[in-house]
Structure formats: C-alpha cells, structure tokens
Amino acid sequence: MSRFRVRRRDDEGTLEVRWRGGARRRYPYVWLRDNCLCPGCFLPSAQARRSLMAQLDPGTGVAEVAVTSSGQGVSVLWPDGHRSDFSGRWLAARCFSAASRAATQEAIFMEERELWGCEMSARLPAFPFEAVLSDGAASLAWLTSLRRHGLALLHGAPARRGQIERLANSVGFLRLTFYGNVWEVRDKSDANNVAYTAGPLAPHTDYPALTHPPGVQFLHCVRQAVRGGASQLVDGFAVCEQLRREQPEAFRLLASTPLNYVDVGTDLCDFHVHSRNPVIQLDEQGRVQRINLNHATRDSVLDVPLRAVRPLYAALSRFSALTESPRNQITFTLRPGDVITFDNWRLLHGRADYVDLRSEQEAGAGNTDGTGNTGNTGDSGDAGNTGDSGNTGDTGDSGDTGRLLEGCYLDWEVVLSRLRLLRAGLEKETRRSASAGRLPSEGGPAGTLG
C-alpha cells in the first residue's frame, strides 16, 4: 500500500504530497523538473546536475502525476513526455516549511554553538592525540567539540616537529599561506611577524590580512619557555553578544566598518597583502559569522571620515577590553606534547610574553658582538635534537632551543567535510550494528569511515 497520496495544485504550480502520518508538503513543479534524477538530467557518479538552465521552463506545468508502482515514490510526467521519479524519503528531506529548512541547514552546516566564558577552564574538551589520529570515533568527538565549543586540546603528542602535519593530513589537507604550510612560532631575529618575538600577543584572530582568513588553527607545543608564554583563549562570539547588549552602537560600528589590514614581508616568498574586513562579520541573517581582529596587522591606513575615527577607536577599545576580561578568558600554559586546536573565525587567542633560556644567558653574560645574536646561522632543521635538555650552548637563531610551537591552518570547508564523512560513517555503522544486534565498534582509522 502506498505511503502517501499526491494532488496537483496547478493554480500555484505545486505538487502536494500527503504522507500517511498526516504531513502535507508542497513542491513547486519547476523545482521538481530542475531536480529530475534520471540519468539524462543527473550524473550519479558525480552526484550532480547535468541538465542545463537554458532548457528549464520556469513556468512549467505537468501532464500527469501519480504515486509510483512501488508505492514509495512520486512520478511526474512532463508536458514534453519526459518522466521524473522521486522517492518519498528524498522529498521529505527537502520539505519547504520554515522549520524543516532550518533543521536541514543546521544538519548540513552545524552552526549551533555553545558560548562560553572563563568557566570553560574547568571543562576544556581534551582528547588523546594518537587516538584522534587512528580512531574514527575519537576523531569525530574531537571535531564535534572543535565545531561546537570552538576549541579542543589534544594531549600526548610527541614533543618534536612534524606532528600537526600528521594531524592535518588525518583531516584532509592544510591551508598554505605566505608563512608556509607549517610555521614555527619562536623568537626570531628580524621577525617578519610580531608572533615571532618573545613579546606578548593580545587576543587576536590570525591572518585578518587575508580576505578569507583560515578557519581552523592548530598549535603544537614542542618546547615551552622557561618563564612566561601562557596562552589565553576567548570566545569571540560570546564577546560579541556582550557588546551587542551593552553597547549596541559600538557593535553596529564594528559590524559595519571594514578595516584595512596589511602584511608585508618575506617568508615562503615575498608578500604584500592587503584586505578590508570588519571586526565583526555578520551573515545575511545578522548572526556573527567571523571575527577579524589582529591589532598587529591593522593598517594605519584607515578608510573612514575624520569624524568617525574617535567613535571607532572607542568601539575597538571596548571590544578588546572585553576580550581581555578575566571572566571571558581561559588561560593555561601549553606543555610539550599539547596541541591546541581552535576555530580561528570565532576564538581570539593570545599569549603572555616569555623568556627563553638563551635570552636569560645573554642577559646574564651579555652578548659579545652587540647584535643580540651569538652567531649561529645554521638552518632550522631538528636533526638529532631530542628536547630542550643538554643543548644550552646553542644560543643562535636556529630554533633548537627555547620556546617552540609549530602551527598550521585548515579551512573550515575541509574540516566540515571530514566531520560530515565521519558522522555519516558512524550512522551507517550504527545502523549495521543495530541490525546485527551488536554495539558499534570503537571505529577504524579516521580515513576509513564514510
């Protein structure tokens, strides 16, 4: 027996489908014709439309509609003799009611976030590094947290270079920028970025100088400083809601004023980068989509009229003060082997200034040539270096002593793609296990699910 009945609504150009349970949904003829799934209109191997817009009549009617012989779908005969079949399940998943559309968009894009303040300290999501690399279920739990809370700590990674590249490759691929695939955060002479000094970094998002800043950031602590270097993380979306409540005019200014950002230098190659990004980027529904804020690369070129300058600074100052408020921050010191992963479109991160052993020695002994650099100009390879002990004689810029973080970026597109594959893979396995009467296994390698 059929699960539903169908009725033509030629007056409004829709097909009405009534499910046995009571749901009644309408589908526009033009949309049905556009989404015909026959092999002539749709290429299954690509899961993509092959029919052309030029061939579509936006005012199309139908010749005949009927429930398919199986009773599981709807069949439409078009005026030109073409036929399209749709399953009830396929139609139900594409219901046009506002509630269905909202639920479907949430399932696809996972925009729902849990906002947090300093209380997050006590419940920082943490996962074992190697498990996340090798186990699909652990990887899914990690990425789900990264999306919902905007951060997740991985612990127990080897305290040597090369680990976040492994991690990024388990997700997909990392995002190349002018700072390279993987970059080293350490105190460098002639630093091409303030991050590459031992100075403090106020809460910021990385790389607002790009029009499309990286969505996700990984930072792996290879060596920590002897003093200082603590990390701060702030939920920028939570801060935005505070500002929206407390100072709606400041919020409006930051959401509507594009700031110039600039980044000039040499790393992977020479670069000269400019962007225009508002500090608070809203989507078309007025929801905060992305924070773009790094005072270090905010341009002195300021494209606002004279009278708008002081109010803009007042708003910037208020926003930054909120990001520096202890009730909004979590602070912790990364230890060698920790990897912090976070949403760079949502969180701001900072660090306290730090002192490395070599700077201490230099301060004590005084450097001999007055350059602040005792002469090691070797490359920054990690060959044979097993840690921070026993190598205190090397006080150069080669990067094998002192605080060292390895960092890299990924695009949200890539991370969300993996998240959907893992989710779909787990659902499939759960269905299979349920029908076999057993519990789902702990999961295979990340790459094999989905």
The residues of the shown chain that bind ligand NM2, judged by CB under 6 A, are 179, 183, 185, 193, 195, 206-207, 263, 294, 297, 407
Identity of the residue, 91 or 408, whose beta carbon is nearer to ligand NM2 in the bound complex:
408
Locate the DSSP E strands across 141-206. 151-155, 182-185, 201-204
Shortest distance (Å) from residue 321 CB to ligand OGA: 19
Identity of the residue, 206 or 356, whose beta carbon is nearer to ligand OGA in the bound complex:
206
Identity of the residue, 33 or 204, whose beta carbon is nearer to ligand OGA in the bound complex:
204
From the list ligand OGA, ligand NM2, Zn ion, none, partner contacted by residue 231 (C-beta under 5 to 8 A by kind):
ligand OGA
Shortest distance (Å) from residue 210 CB to ligand OGA: 13
From the list Zn ion, ligand NM2, ligand OGA, none, partner contacted by residue 405 (C-beta under 5 to 8 A by kind):
ligand OGA
Shortest distance (Å) from residue 179 CB to ligand OGA: 9
Give the helix/strand (H/E) hosting 14: strand 14-19
Give the helix/strand (H/E) hosting 129: helix 129-134
| Residue found under tokens 């350059």 | 371
Identity of the residue, 197 or 289, whose beta carbon is nearer to ligand OGA in the bound complex:
197
Widest Cα–Cα separation across the chain: 92
**C-alpha of 166 from chain center:** 18
In the chain, the N- to C-terminal Cα span, in Å, equals 34
Stretch 337-366: interaction string toward ligand OGA, x if CB under 6 A: ------------x-x---------------
Shortest distance (Å) from residue 176 CB to ligand NM2: 11
**Quick one: which of 369, 353, 356, 364 has its CA closest to 395?**
356
Q: How far apart are CA 289 and CA 205, in angstroms?
A: 13
Identity of the residue, 239 or 408, whose beta carbon is nearer to ligand NM2 in the bound complex:
408
Locate the DSSP E strands across 187-237. 201-204, 216-223, 227-228, 231-235
Identity of the residue, 351 or 418, whose beta carbon is nearer to ligand OGA in the bound complex:
351
Helices marked H in 94-148: 98-109, 129-134, 136-148
Footprint on residues 139-198 left by ligand OGA (CB under 6 A): 185, 195
Give the helix/strand (H/E) hosting 434: helix 412-436
Shortest distance (Å) from residue 275 CB to ligand NM2: 10
Footprint on residues 195-224 left by ligand OGA (CB under 6 A): 195, 201, 206
Rg (CA), the chain: 27
| Cβ-based neighbours of 27, under 8 Å, separated by 6 or more | 14, 15, 17, 91, 94, 96
Shortest distance (Å) from residue 253 CB to ligand NM2: 22
**Quick one: which of 327, 307, 308, 306 has its CA closest to 316?**
308
Shortest distance (Å) from residue 259 CB to Zn ion: 17
Q: How far apart are CA 191 and CA 195, in angstroms?
A: 8
Identity of the residue, 136 or 236, whose beta carbon is nearer to Zn ion in the bound complex:
236
From the list ligand OGA, Zn ion, ligand NM2, none, partner contacted by residue 107 (C-beta under 5 to 8 A by kind):
none
Identity of the residue, 357 or 410, whose beta carbon is nearer to Zn ion in the bound complex:
410
From the list ligand OGA, Zn ion, ligand NM2, none, partner contacted by residue 36 (C-beta under 5 to 8 A by kind):
Zn ion
Identity of the residue, 38 or 304, whose beta carbon is nearer to Zn ion in the bound complex:
38
From the list Zn ion, ligand NM2, ligand OGA, none, partner contacted by residue 364 (C-beta under 5 to 8 A by kind):
none
Q: How far apart are CA 325 and CA 117, in angstroms?
A: 10
Q: How far apart are CA 96 and CA 441, in angstroms?
A: 37
Q: What is the DSSP string of 390-427?
A: T-TT--SSSSSSS-EEEEEEE-HHHHHHHHHHHHHHHH
Helix (H, G, I), strand (E, B) or coil at 234: strand
| Cβ-based neighbours of 326, under 8 Å, separated by 6 or more | 118
Residue from the set 139, 145, 231, 242 that interacts with ligand OGA by CB under 6 A? 231
Residue from the set 154, 171, 405, 419 that interacts with ligand OGA by CB under 6 A? 405
From the list Zn ion, ligand OGA, ligand NM2, none, partner contacted by residue 412 (C-beta under 5 to 8 A by kind):
none
Q: Which CA distances in Å does 385 have to 32, 203, 220, 340, 346?
A: 63, 32, 17, 23, 36
- Residues lying near Zn ion in the complex (CB under 5 A) are found at 36, 38, 40-41, 206
Q: Which two tokens stand for residue 360?
A: 């201490």
Shortest distance (Å) from residue 75 CB to ligand NM2: 56
From the list Zn ion, ligand OGA, ligand NM2, none, partner contacted by residue 93 (C-beta under 5 to 8 A by kind):
none
Shortest distance (Å) from residue 407 CB to ligand NM2: 6
Q: How far apart are CA 37 and CA 85, in angstroms?
A: 7
Identity of the residue, 135 or 397, whose beta carbon is nearer to ligand NM2 in the bound complex:
397
Q: How far apart are CA 13 and CA 5, in angstroms?
A: 17
Identity of the residue, 40 or 59, whose beta carbon is nearer to Zn ion in the bound complex:
40
From the list Zn ion, ligand OGA, ligand NM2, none, partner contacted by residue 354 (C-beta under 5 to 8 A by kind):
none
Q: Which CA distances in Å does 299 have to 76, 252, 274, 293, 302?
A: 59, 21, 9, 11, 7
Binding residues (CB under 6 A) for ligand OGA: these are: 185, 195, 201, 206, 231, 349, 351, 405, 407
